[in-house]
Structure 1
Amino acid sequence: MTRSATLDVLIVGGGIAGLGLAGYLARQGCEPTVVEQATEWRSSGYGIGLWSDGLAVLDELDCLGAVRQRAADPNRIEIRATGGERLRQTTIPPDRTLLLAVHRADLHAALRTAVPADWIRMGTTPARIRERRGGVDVTFDDGRTETFDLVVGADGIHSTVREQCFTEWTLRDLDTYVWSLWVEEDVDVGGDMVSVWGPGSEGFVARVGDRVGVNLAARLESAPEPPALDELRTLADAVDWQRPALLEETDEEPFFDRVREVTCERWRTDRVALVGDAAHALHPIAGMGASLALQDARVLAQELATTRPERVSTALDRFEARRRKPVEREKRKARVEAAVTFVESEPLRRLRNGVVEHTPILDLFVRQQAISG
């Protein structure tokens, strides 16, 4: 057992980052408390892409096998224009796994297997967090107060921990909205993983086992009323190529959300840290959110592995120093990808499509993601 067993850690949020961190701490002999505001785990959510570094984390947590059983391991990735014209295709060697596409709920279920159920408290969240020199006093919404050596905010874009403990941060609502649904039908989607670029929109399709995962993202002038089914059908018709047919094959109400970005000047105080979307939510076009969250969990756990309670601040400082540059690099890449993908002007779309069709830009992107992801 390592010295991390002496740390009393509270993880706020039982999502990908929170469960990943709890799984690592469990392996180090630490028994963190995980609190989750939801009363039960949700079954809805996006189709998630996991690149190499995210897959390495799952492997270390002994979760990769379970995820792989429910995921798509593509050998081909295609980009198509409106109507289905193929612009570019790249192949991945069949003996290599650079990317898995999986339903968020399936990834989440696999991560839960690494965390004892009695460490997780459902239906509760901090009402007050007070940091002092010797620890962090946390009063929960049920009136209970406890003291911890470290509090980790893994509670997503609308983080309670960030709201209470940090001041220099911004939550930015973008003009982009995302729908995600799953179709259990034998629909021909061409390549293993296909991105179709419409006017100001992008549709993404991947076959995952016996289901087809469909994401559709689009820029809109005004916020629609959730779940915005009329807007979804209109966008699907504009993108064309299988989207209208896929919508007709399901009665499921799609998962719907607005795209937001989080920027924090600092991710840590002396005894409070932020990980994942709570610290650095980025545009989902990059498909890097889950991998970054899992990498945060791994690095923070590494820094805490031999840390005594009085040295928590030093460990958090090292954590942020190691993670800040990789995250900022991915955020910049995501902004560029969004600017290229969500083009509305017809002349600019033709220019962009020509560049993609006649250059190896897709191949270079996949190789870069495999290295950095």
Structure 2
Amino acid sequence: MTHHPNTDVLIVGGGLAGLSLAGYLQRQGVEPTIIERVPEWRDAGYGIGLWEDGLTVLDELGLLDAARGRAADPRGFAVRAGGGELLARASLPPAQILLLVIHRADLHAVLRENVPSDWIRMGTAPEDITEHADGVTVTFDDGTTDEFDFIIGADGVHSAVRSQCFDDWRKRESDTYVWSLWAEQDADVGQDMVSVWGPGSEGFVARVGDRVGFNLAARLDSPPEPPGRAALRRQAEAIGWQLPALLDGTDDEPFFDRIRDVTCEHWHTDRIALIGDAAHAVHPISGMGASLALQDARVLAQELATSRSDRPSDAFANFESRRRAAVTRVQRMARVEAAITFLESDSLRRLRNSIVKHTPLFDMFIKRQARND
């Protein structure tokens, strides 16, 4: 569709997907309004891996070097059994950057620097969204009302846009909980990105400059009281290797959350579209959630810029058509990966570990991730 300087676009959610989309729209001469429900930006979040699809977006936005300055470029990806036994290691080509490991807050800061601050309204959420033939009327929680040509819901797994404007979606609450801690430490964890498999749990460890970060995810019968540091201690000790020492090395309060995924039968109406976790939150075991969000922004911006129709719905439909298969594949693989990783049976874990150790399956998996097949 043809953009005009006075096109009024509302992006609900100032996360990775929303900020990436704003960066692309800025290049098309569009100045979107971004609303974010929290009153100030937070430094919490997971450590994430960005594979080639996500790196492509950063490169196109001119942000790859800035992201690399805050990230690690691991040369290998290792998997260990509880206690530390090395099961497999896959090397990444030294001549290519196929993977960056970065804390979500650092990636968010890089994307935020690319968007004018006066486009962003903090501490604001949509209270009522009414779509009509010529646009969308939004009443905000401060009582103000405004009109927009179209709206993009980039407001995550708990999306207000999805809840108000779509009824063919499902949010699944997992029995798995996740903690994340990133702090300056001198622990010897090597330069690889490491996944350590415990009973019904996984630790993810990576060094980024002076900091060592670890995520720990575990299946629990009942949720601990946030931030659940006592439960984190029990899980770290059950996994072993360097995780107890890493926990000893910082008094910081961990980021803590419950894992959820989202599936939607449709990602758009005539003038409203969902992107990122609002449309398709995936289990973080996939390591692909951030890359999916960034690619959503890229493809939607392309369709908005190149559509010959004046109706946003045509661009939205093309966007969904291009992205649906990739998202479905990642969601399907994430469910398989979670089932394999979070095994609780001792005998099944021994069998899994033996297969990983004595076959090339892990190396094949990493190469597939790198190619985004």
TM-score (norm 1): 0.98
The amino acid of 1:212's aligned partner reads V
Counterpart position of 2:179? 179
Cα-Cα RMSD: 1.2
SS at match of 2:71: coil
1:56 and 2:56 equivalent? Answer: yes
SS at match of 1:343: coil
| Cα deviation digits, residues 294-338 of structure 1 (max 9, x gap) | 000000000111457841111111111111111000000111110
| Cα deviation digits, residues 61-119 of structure 1 (max 9, x gap) | 11111110110100011110011000011111211111111011110010012211111
Counterpart position of 1:107? 107
Residues in 2 aligned to 1:317 and 1:299: alpha-carbon distance in whole angstroms = 11
The amino acid of 1:236's aligned partner reads A
1:155-304 alignment runs, 5 A limit: 155-304=155-304
Counterpart position of 2:8? 8
Counterpart position of 2:82? 82
Counterpart position of 2:126? 126
1:6 Cα deviation (Å)? 5.0
| Cα deviation digits, residues 6-57 of structure 1 (max 9, x gap) | 5311000000000000000001111111001111110111101100000000
SS at match of 1:322: helix
SS at match of 1:129: strand
Counterpart position of 1:361? 361
Q: Can you give the 5+ residue segments of structure 1 that lack an aligned partner in the other structure?
A: none
1:33-72 alignment runs, 5 A limit: 33-72=33-72
| Cα deviation digits, residues 261-319 of structure 1 (max 9, x gap) | 11111000000000000000010001100000000000000011145784111111111
1:149–1:309 CA contact under 8 A, matched in 2: no
SS at match of 2:162: helix
Alpha-carbon spacing, 1:309–1:212, altered in 2? closer, same or farther (3 Å): same
Alpha-carbon spacing, 1:58–1:51, altered in 2? closer, same or farther (3 Å): same
1:337 and 2:324 equivalent? Answer: no
Using the aligned pairs only, state the percent identity.
66
Residues in 2 aligned to 1:269 and 1:12: alpha-carbon distance in whole angstroms = 15
2:130–2:138 CA contact under 8 A, matched in 1: yes
1:366 Cα deviation (Å)? 1.2
1:314 and 2:314 equivalent? Answer: yes
2:190–2:207 CA contact under 8 A, matched in 1: no
